[in-house]
Amino acid sequence: MDNKQAHHKLVVFYDGSCEGCIKDRANYERWAGAGGNDIYWFDITDREEQLKSLGLSPDRVMRELHVQTVDGNILCELDAYILLMQRVPRLKVLAWLIGLPVIRPCLSWAYRTWVERRLKRQGRI
């Protein structure tokens, strides 16, 4: 972690080359209000070497949302979304819902499929 990240509780690795990801970040920041001030948004675009130095696969980080907690744990895909949603009062019920055993695998498949299609459409994979 660099000095800019040191005072943050979460580091969110997001794809700054993705218009939808940028919109999602803006929505999250608006909904979280001051509760989102402890998040460092790490744009993964053209940062492959830095990601590798953190022990992260650039390809996997591009395909799945990753969040690093203050203690260094990395959460991926739906676990990362659930953690972020639990921090916003209006999204807590949704976080609980997507974590349900019946919904989670279906949503995970849909998420991975959507990301793959987006990356192929953009010519990034």
Domain assignment present for 94: yes
> Considering its fold, how many domains does the chain have in total?
1
Is 14 within a domain?
yes
One-letter-per-residue 3-state SS of 46-87: CCHHHHHHCCCCHHHHHHCCEEEECCCCEEEHHHHHHHHHHC
Single pTM value for the model: 0.87
Q: Does residue 3 fall inside a structural domain?
A: no
Q: pLDDT by residue (tens digit) across 111-120? A: 999 999 999 9
With respect to residue 95, please indicate whether it lies within any of the assigned structural domains.
yes
Indicate whether 33 belongs to any domain. yes
Return d(Cα 14, Cα 45) in angstroms, integer: 8
Q: Which residue has the tokens 């022990």?
A: 55
Domain of residue 60, residue span: 10-121
Q: Is the pLDDT of residue 86 over 80?
A: yes
- The tens digit of pLDDT for each residue in 8-43 reads 799 999 999 999 899 999 999 999 998 889 999 999
What are the strands of the beta sheet with 39-43, ordered from one edge?
39-43, 10-14, 66-69, 74-76
The answer as to whether 2 is a domain residue is no
33-69, pLDDT tens digit by residue? Answer: 988 899 999 999 999 999 999 999 999 999 999 999 9
Give the separation between CA 114 and CA 117, rounded to whole angstroms.
5
Q: Is residue 92 part of a domain?
A: yes
